[in-house]
Amino acid sequence: MSDSVYNGLDTNLKPEQNIVASTSNQTDTSSQVFMAVLKSGIDSMNATINDTTIFIVTKGQLFLYWNNPHTVLIPDGRSAYIPPEQIMRVDSPYFKFNFSKWDFVKQKDYKLYKVAKGEGIDLNSLIKRIQNKDDDALLQFYNLQTIVDGASAEEFPYDFWALINLWTDKELSTFITTLKTDEKKGFCSLLIESSFTNPYEYYKLYYPLTWKQIEAAK
**pLDDT by residue (tens digit) across 116-134?**
999 999 999 999 999 999 9
Q: Inform me whether the pLDDT recorded for 31 exceeds 90.
A: no
- What is the C-alpha separation between 185 and 165, in angstroms, rounded? 19
Q: Give the chain's domain count.
A: 2
Say if residue 172 is in the same domain as residue 202. yes
Say if residue 80 is in the same domain as residue 140. no
Q: Inform me whether the pLDDT recorded for 2 exceeds 70.
A: no
Domain range enclosing 125: 111-217
3-state secondary structure 159-180: HHHHHHCCCCHHHHHHHHHCCC
Say if residue 82 is in the same domain as residue 25. yes
User: Cα angle vertex 169, ends 167, 170, to 5°?
Assistant: 100
Q: Inform me whether the pLDDT recorded for 10 exceeds 80.
A: no
Say if residue 142 is in the same domain as residue 68. no
Q: Inform me whether the pLDDT recorded for 204 exceeds 70.
A: yes
pLDDT of residue 171: 98
Q: Which helix (H) or strand (E) holds 80?
A: strand 79-81
CATH code of the domain covering residue 60: 2.30.30
pTM of the model: 0.85
Crossing angle for the helix pair 123-131 and 150-164, nearest 10 degrees? 20
47 in Cβ contact with 81 (< 8 Å): yes
Say if residue 60 is in the same domain as residue 156. no
Mean pLDDT of the chain: 89
Domain assignment of residue 128, yes or no: yes
* Domain-ending residue, one of 89, 122, 151: 89
Q: Considering only CA atoms, which of 33, 9, 13 is closest in space to residue 21? A: 33
